[in-house]
Amino acid sequence: MTNESLRIDALAPAEMAKKAEDIGVKKANLPADQLILLAILAGVYIGLGGVFSTVVSTGAAGLPFGVVKLLSGLVFTVGLIFVVVGGAELFTGNNLITIAFASGRVSLGALLRNWGIVYVGNFLGAAFLALLIFLSNEHTQAGGAWGLNALSIGNMKTGFSFIPAMVSGILCNFLVCLAVWLTFSCHTVAEKVLAIIPPIATFVAAGFEHSVANMYFISLALMVKYWGSAAFFETIGKTSADFSNLTLQNFLFTNLLPVTLGNIIGGGLFIGLLYWRIYIHSRH
């Protein structure tokens, strides 16, 4: 057994920074076929957190606003728990590869290769899960209230202007990468789970924007809007025209583009490069 496996106290932040650097190097050098499959899994896992969150928030109108947000945030944490404990490659978490890049152990090309492959894989996984959820008629549950909730979420997310969407993305991935950063101190699965819950529940409850989660949420909402049956819309007393923000163009350019940029800044700069400057740069 290694010394680390016998250690029971959490790693100190300086040790966490070294661990983050080593993990970044390993991630940047994964073979493309392994990387894309792990990224697809991560897209599915984060989407499953979105499914759980939608279920919990459906029909909760009688509860106080904060309580609904708290419950939605707590259950959404399963997505990152699946990613970290199960092993998968998530674009937002991989923004922390900036630590290894800043140390000169990962090239810009390797960094962008990882981000590019993982981003595409996450999109494939999230959209595939959205398709399965739609085909399962999940949106017809609770007398169509589940689908109305999904439509409302997608319509809201595609109604931002550029700067608010980007800033919301910054705040989101500051918290997501903080969650991943905290797991670097852990030795056991239980410790990792407990480290993940507070930051992820915070970002979801606050309504911050996560690019990969939105790949699921908005993909599903678009499917329900354009492929939902007439009977479904009649049941919820709405038409597809009532969700005017919900278009493919708004998905890609009003939400996903600014949110992705914000995620990179919030995770890669405000967590990754800041901790690199504090704990690693000072060693050189």
Q: What is the pLDDT of residues 103-156, one digit of tens each?
A: 999 999 999 999 999 999 999 999 999 999 999 999 999 999 999 999 999 999
Q: Which tokens go with 124?
A: 């494939």
DSSP classification of residue 105: S
Q: Residue 56: pLDDT above 60?
A: yes
Report the pLDDT value the prediction gives residue 6, as an integer from 0 to 100.
55
Residue 283 is given by DSSP the state G
Please report, rounded to a whole number, the percentage of residues in the chain having pLDDT higher than 70.
96
Whole-structure pTM value:
0.95
Q: What does the buried/exposed string (b/e) look like for 93-131 if buried means 16 or more CB atoms within 10 Å of the residue's CB? A: bbbbbbbbbbbeebeeebbebbbebbbbbbbbbbbbbbe
Residue 62's pLDDT band, with cuts at 50, 70 and 90, is: confident
Output the pLDDT for position 61. 79
**pLDDT level of residue 174 (50, 70, 90 thresholds):** very high
Would you say residue 264 has pLDDT above 80?
Answer: yes
Q: N- to C-terminal Cα distance for the chain?
A: 31
**Architecture of the domain delimited by 10-283:** Up-down Bundle (1.20)
Average the pLDDT over 246-271 and give the result. 98
CB-based contacts of 30, cutoff 8 Å, min separation 6: 38, 89, 114
- 8 pLDDT more than 50: yes
pLDDT band at residue 1 under the 50/70/90 scheme: very low
Domain residues of the chain, as ranges? Answer: 10-283
pLDDT at 4 over 70: no
User: pLDDT value at position 7?
Assistant: 60
Q: How confident is the model at residue 68 (pLDDT cuts 50, 70, 90)?
A: very high
Confidence of residue 60 (pLDDT cuts 50, 70, 90): confident
pLDDT confidence of 226, banded at 50, 70, 90?
Answer: very high
Name the band, by pLDDT with cuts 50, 70 and 90, for residue 281. confident
Residue type, 258: P
Say if CB 231 and CB 138 are below 8 A apart: no
pLDDT for residue 11 is more than 70: yes
